[in-house]
Amino acid sequence: MAKALLVLDMQEVTVGKDHAKFFSYPEDILAKVNSVIEQNECNLIVYIRNLMKNNFINKLAPVKCFAGTQEAELAEGLLMKSEYIFDKYKGDAFSVPAFAAFLKEKSVDEVEIIGVDGGGCVSLTALGACTAGYRVRLNTAAIGTMFTAKRDKYYAKLKALGAEIGGA
């Protein structure tokens, strides 16, 4: 079986040089994520982008991230070690059938998750992975979190499901 490193939501809108002011991750989050990517020994790295549906309601949102826009692109400076990129419109990457099928096709049984946000998409994807039967590791050395109360709630659930949570 195989392990995959999942890199979540490391996009221009969230961590790029001109990221939306709503997002306040540590300035070194990109460097931390790149360090994990560089040191990771698994040969299956998957990048996942979080997008918004381009509809009337979302056009009114203060922060926008639509397919085909600069905001949606993976952040400049993000270390790219594969061409595997999937787009999601919900917090849990396992809500994307093509992504779930890809992992099965690659015989993945374990996922390590890094990126943003520990109180949102990172934890929701980890919960989706647990539900789908994967061994799950959240590498907190490379997870940015703005929503700490939600992170703590999710991490408690994930630990109860057997997920490993820790740095490096």
Q: Where are the domains of the chain?
A: 2-166
164 CA to centre of own chain: 16
State whether residue 98 is helix, strand or coil: helix
Residues for the chain: how many in total? 168
Most distant CA pair in the chain, distance: 45
Q: Is 109 helix (H, G, I), strand (E, B) or coil?
A: strand
- Name residue 3's beta-bridge partners: 110
Is residue 142's pLDDT more than 80?
yes
pLDDT band at 37 (very low <50, low <70, confident <90, very high): very high
Q: 2-166 — its CATH code?
A: 3.40.50.850
In this predicted structure, what is the pLDDT of residue 154? Answer: 97
pTM listed for this prediction: 0.94
Residues facing residue 52 across a β-bridge: 66
Task: State mean pLDDT over 135-156.
Answer: 96
Average confidence score pLDDT of the chain:
93
More confident: 117 or 24: 117
User: Between the CA of residue 38 and those of 11, 32, 64, 70, 92, what are the distances in Å?
Assistant: 18, 10, 30, 25, 25
How far apart, in whole angstroms, are the C-alpha atoms of residue 118 and residue 140?
8
* pLDDT at residue 66 is higher than 90: no
Quick: pLDDT tens for 6-22.
999 999 999 998 887 78
Question: 42: Cβ–Cβ under 8 A, 6 or more apart, which residues?
Answer: 2, 3, 4, 5, 112
pLDDT at 56 (0 to 100): 79
Q: Mean pLDDT over residues 78-87, rounded? A: 96
* Mean pLDDT across 68-94: 95
Instruction: Please tell me the predicted confidence (pLDDT) of residue 168.
Output: 65
pLDDT digits (tens, 9 = 90+) for 83-135: 999 999 999 999 999 999 999 999 999 999 999 999 999 999 999 999 999 99
DSSP element (H, E) containing 126: helix 121-131
Structure tokens at 134: 């994967």
Give every CB contact of residue 53 below 8 A, 6+ residues apart in sequence.
89
Could you tell me the pLDDT band of residue 52, with boundaries at 50, 70 and 90? confident
